[in-house]
Amino acid sequence: MIFFILSLSINLSGKMYTFREYGMGQHKYIMTNSMLEEMDFSYYWDLNTQILTIQKENIVSIMPDNPFVKVNRDVFQLEVPPLREEGKLFVPVSSLPLILGSLTNMEAKFNQGILEVGVKVNIYKIEWDVTPGKTIFKIECSPSLKHLFNKVEDEWVLVIFDPIYDKSISEVSPKGLIGDIKFEKGNGFIKFRFKAKDDLAMDAIRDGKYLNIKVKTFEERSIKTIVIDPGHGGEDPGAVCKGVQEKDIVLKASKKIAAKLAREGFDVIMTRTEDVFIPLKDRTKIADSARADLFVSIHCNAAPNKRDMNGSETYFLSAARSDWARTVEATENSAIRFEAKSGAGLSELDYILNDLAQTQFLEESQQAGICIQESMVQKCDLYNRGLKQANFYVLRLNYMPAVLVEIAFITHAEDRKKLLDDKFLEKACDAIVEGIEAYAKSRT
């Protein structure tokens, strides 16, 4: 009679294995062949003699119903003999330290329910990596160690399960951006409780043999360089209504946005700073060669035949789109008309290649779009037309996420009034910058 009971974990030189543990009578067993196969030991079970021979560093022989184990030429007696059940050989769990220890020629013993073979500790040491904007608490440990990391009130708590360590691990004191650190020992786990300085966010990252607890200041962000692209310019006025030209408003707005971003510590590149015509292809080239982290194209919307349309919308690239997105896309892509004249047209192949490249940034573009759109509608009194997708040529970049912002409608009387109002434009630009900052923060 076999009863499936629990599982047995074996840590073999840092590699963790788990096997089913079977209860038979008073004792617990594991199935020998599955253990040997998973651990990659060579073995041979002679069905005539019933002797199982296993070879690694030493040769170990066992047989069912016989309490004697042979290790090379030596014989050892087990408290409980192996069993044969349903054609399989089971070895008692209590015999595993002897069998696996002999096979590997390493120390094998049970520690908190885990059989450790050739393992003295699984947490080796703690190191610090402290630089001005960043502090990493590095725990060098076995890759099989399980951990939990989360925020509990104002503390960040790291729990490491089944640790084997020496005392030095517990002797920790805070450094760098970690303002406080406490060590606690539990039953089958240890706990580190951290407090970050200035309520900074902390993160636990597995990096090979290290479990890194990382704190960064906002200055150490991954979004550093931003391209601001004022739409249209020169002979391409963009949308025009009652003498108001899109190209002028977006240049004014873009300059404000660029200045604000620079004050926040971003590196900013503008595709144009004057009233000049820049082909769409050159705009993408400027952005791509800068290897920037985000591209934001600034526009004003137009619906000449639907003067009641108003509000703010943000786009990221997609081939699939709504009828309205198609309309906006046709308007914004119309700079191509001017490009044909200047001989800087785009080939169909360029579009396809750039489309493919941009797909890897769609998720980030969407995230940036969400942040900017939300910030705009929250801070400015603008109707929220939402985040949309359209096939804008200018968003087909190779190296970075890209969004296109339509601040408001130049064709809507009230929106146009707002766009011409310096105070409003200032507020809209602040909102765009805050949206970009929120996105940057989400990527650190």
Question: Which of 20, 121, 145, 32 has its CA nearest to residue 81?
Answer: 32
Coil, strand or helix at 352: helix
Interaction between residue 238 and Zn ion (CB under 5 A): yes
Which single residue brings its beta carbon nearest to Zn ion?
299
Coil, strand or helix at 175: coil
Contact by Cβ (8 Å): 270, 229: yes
Strands 51-55 and 59-62, bridge-based pairing: antiparallel
Longest dimension (CA), the chain: 102
Closer to Zn ion by Cβ: residue 104 or 331: 331
Q: Choose one: 80-88, 326-334, 365-373, 375-383; the region binding Zn ion (CB under 5 A).
A: 326-334
Interaction between residue 247 and Zn ion (CB under 5 A): no
Shortest CB 265 distance to Zn ion, Å: 29
Shortest CB 332 distance to Zn ion, Å: 5
DSSP 245-270: EHHHHHHHHHHHHHHHHHHTT-EEEE
- Binding residues for Zn ion restricted to 113-152, rule: CB under 5 A: none
Closer to Zn ion by Cβ: residue 81 or 238: 238
- Binding residues for Zn ion restricted to 68-107, rule: CB under 5 A: none
Outline where 210-347 has alpha helix (H). Answer: 246-263, 280-290, 323-332, 335-342
Shortest CB 247 distance to Zn ion, Å: 8
Shortest CB 246 distance to Zn ion, Å: 5
Interaction between residue 233 and Zn ion (CB under 5 A): no
**Whole-angstrom Cα distance, residue 248 to residue 235?**
12
Closer to Zn ion by Cβ: residue 141 or 298: 298
Shortest CB 381 distance to Zn ion, Å: 22
Q: Choose one: 128-136, 142-150, 327-335, 408-416; the region binding Zn ion (CB under 5 A).
A: 327-335
Interaction between residue 299 and Zn ion (CB under 5 A): yes
Strands 3-12 and 114-117, bridge-based pairing: parallel
Shortest CB 278 distance to Zn ion, Å: 13
Looking at this protein, which amino acid is placed at residue 310?
N
- Binding residues for Zn ion restricted to 385-444, rule: CB under 5 A: none
Closer to Zn ion by Cβ: residue 8 or 302: 302
Looking at this protein, which amino acid is placed at residue 96?
L
Closer to Zn ion by Cβ: residue 225 or 333: 333
Interaction between residue 231 and Zn ion (CB under 5 A): yes
Looking at this protein, which amino acid is placed at residue 278?
I
Structure tokens at 125: 């040491």
Which residues in this chain contact Zn ion in the complex, by CB under 5 A?
Answer: 231, 238, 299, 332
